[in-house]
Amino acid sequence: MNIREKQEQRELQTLPHYACHSANSRGRERQEDKCDIRTEFQRDRDRIVHSKAFRRLKHKTQVYISQDNDHYRTRLTHTLEVSQIARTIGNGLMLNADLIEATALAHDCGHTPFSHSGEEVLDDLMPGGFRHNENSVRVLTAIEEGSAGRGLNLTWEVLDGVLYHSGFDGKDREASTLEGQVIKLSDKIAYVQHDIDDSIRAGIIKHSELPSECIQLLGDTHSKRISTLVRDAIEYSSSLIEKGTNSIRLSPPIKKALVGLRDYMFENVYFGPVCKAEREGIRYVIEFLFGYYMKNPDKMPGFYQRITEEEGMERGVCDYISGMTDNYCIDTFKSITIPRAFNI
């Protein structure tokens, strides 16, 4: 019995029946020889960490575009915070930590430059729309290049968790595994709390302005609120599972408080005057680049030119722009619009 098989055996012996066991994975689209050391989900995690899409998250915005403060979150630090929160919840429920970690690290690999503002523009420009969760799956299966060609050939469970991590109101389809559902909830816990933290640091809002009823229930500091939400997620989900309902949820009063903070952030930050002003500039840049490459596809790298030939012009242009970092997007815009003689 090799190292991987011993780990799989340990999972079967220690993880409860409602957890996703590595040995029972639905597998990959392309069959591969198994690793002697790592389980399937550990292997997925390593492929994601070493991918270009994951590295580019370092220079993709979380909320604030003009990052003159190194302490603001980026899409990468958001991803790491989601992973930390999700692993804590998963450990409390005795779920598969490797599947949780792999899905958390992968969930935003298809996000656009300039956060949701960039996503909104591409959603308007693309026939059929654009959603970052679906694009994350596309990046992982068709854009990134693995050892055997296009796509990282990840397991079905990781891709399922990535695809269904978006949404908040319960109307959206849930991931098939509890581990995937943990990612969805952890994403909401992470971004609402760290966006509050960044917005206070930026001087956009004050802590005293946060809804008092939400703060009283969740806590008056960043760490207290996360602790309350994580503890509640473990305890309430555990009670549901014991009753035969395999679902990851917050208790109704705690969920109401989180939704209250989220609604406050949408009104005062995400749709507030500072972000609104930045969105106008972002829209202009992305619409310009989209139109430029639609007329000049030969200016894109050869990889994306091939996509335009295989899947259509809009698809290739969208893949190229959505993969850009904030800095690269701005630099590309400048290189096209500013005469070279003045671009010193």
Residue 253 pLDDT greater than 80, yes or no = yes
Mean pLDDT of the chain: 94
Which letter does DSSP use for residue 58 in this model?
Answer: G
CA angle 199, 200, 202 (to 5 degrees): 65
Tokens of 319: 């893949």
**Would you state the pLDDT for residue 343?**
56
Tokens of 152: 């990282």
Pairing of strands 149-150, 145-146: antiparallel
**String of DSSP letters for 3-54:** HHHHHHHHHHHHS-TTSPPGGG---BSS--PPPSSS-HHHHHHHHHHTSHHH
CA proximity to 164, closest of 106, 121, 208: 106
Confidence of residue 64 (pLDDT cuts 50, 70, 90): low
Residue 66 pLDDT greater than 70, yes or no = no
Q: What is the pLDDT of residues 125-139, one digit of tens each?
A: 999 999 999 999 999
Task: Give the range among 1-5, 162-166, 284-288, 339-343 with minimum mean pLDDT.
Answer: 339-343
Which letter does DSSP use for residue 151 in this model?
Answer: B
CA–CA separation, 334 and 130 (whole Å): 25
Tokens of 115: 């956060």
Tokens of 221: 């500091």
Beta strands in the chain (DSSP E): 145-146, 149-150
Q: What is the pLDDT of residues 215-243, one digit of tens each?
A: 999 999 999 999 999 999 999 999 999 99
Q: What is the pLDDT of residues 266-277, one digit of tens each?
A: 999 988 887 888
**Architecture of the domain made up of 42-327:** Orthogonal Bundle (1.10)
Cα 193–chain centre separation: 15
Residue 308 pLDDT greater than 70, yes or no = yes
Residues 6+ apart with CB under 8 A from 168: 188, 259, 262
Q: With beta carbons less than 8 A apart as the criterion, state whether 20 and 178 touch.
A: yes
Q: Mean pLDDT throughout 42-64?
A: 93
Highest mean pLDDT among 16-25, 277-286, 334-343: 16-25
Residue 21 pLDDT greater than 90, yes or no = yes
Residue 52 pLDDT greater than 90, yes or no = yes
Q: Mean pLDDT throughout 7-11?
A: 97
**Would you state the pLDDT for residue 240?**
98
